């Protein structure tokens, strides 16, 4: 999948892709921030797709009632992502930087916030490079 445009923000990251329909794939749509993003894209008349490990659970079903298409996929399973990412225009992905930061700071408080922030940033970069996206 080659990108036509790439707009990278610290948090969240938005990748705009070339495709034939306005389909936004929201990773994390079942959470607080992701569901708000889904609402905004639905209001803008986009087709919204969400990746979820269990489309039959309550949060994806609630989103489906609003018009979101829930697709079974797992970010750690490359083969499951093909269907989820087919023919999309954009991906909304919000990473959990805060928990990584807290874990590092709690494990070694003497490292300080600046070093913990840098370590958390590097951990998220490494995690992103290790993902099959």
Q: Are 17 and 3 in contact (CB under 8 A)?
A: yes
On whether both 83 and 45 belong to a single domain, the answer is yes
Which range of residues forms the domain containing residue 57? 1-94
Query: What average pLDDT does the segment 13-21 reach?
Result: 47
**Domain containing residue 33: CATH number:** 3.40.50.720
On whether both 23 and 76 belong to a single domain, the answer is yes
On whether both 89 and 104 belong to a single domain, the answer is no
On whether both 108 and 75 belong to a single domain, the answer is no
Percent of the chain with pLDDT over 90: 20
Domain total for the chain? Answer: 2
Query: What average pLDDT does the segment 4-14 reach?
Result: 38
The more confident residue out of 79 and 68 is: 68
On whether both 74 and 101 belong to a single domain, the answer is no
Would you state the pLDDT for residue 67? 95
On whether both 75 and 133 belong to a single domain, the answer is no
Query: What average pLDDT does the segment 16-31 reach?
Result: 73
Contacts 24+ apart (CB under 8 A), 10-13: 11/94, 11/95, 11/97, 12/92, 12/93, 12/94, 12/95, 13/93, 13/94, 13/95
The more confident residue out of 74 and 127 is: 74
| Secondary structure (3-state) at 33 | helix
Kindly indicate the confidence band of residue 63, based on its pLDDT and cuts at 50, 70 and 90. Answer: very high
pTM over 0.85: no
């Amino acid at each position: 999948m080659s990108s036509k445009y790439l707009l990278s923000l610290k948090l969240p990251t938005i990748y705009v892709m070339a495709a034939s329909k306005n389909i936004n794939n929201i990773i994390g749509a079942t959470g607080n921030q992701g569901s708000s993003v889904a609402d905004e894209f639905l209001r803008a008349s986009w087709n919204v797709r969400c990746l979820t490990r269990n489309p039959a659970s309550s949060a994806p079903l609630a989103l489906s009632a609003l018009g979101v298409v829930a697709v079974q996929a797992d970010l750690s399973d490359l083969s499951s992502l093909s269907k989820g990412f087919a023919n999309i225009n954009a991906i909304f992905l919000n990473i959990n930087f805060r928990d990584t930061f807290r874990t590092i700071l709690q494990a070694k408080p003497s490292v300080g916030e600046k070093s913990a922030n840098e370590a958390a940033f590097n951990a998220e970069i490494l995690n992103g490079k290790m993902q099959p996206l």
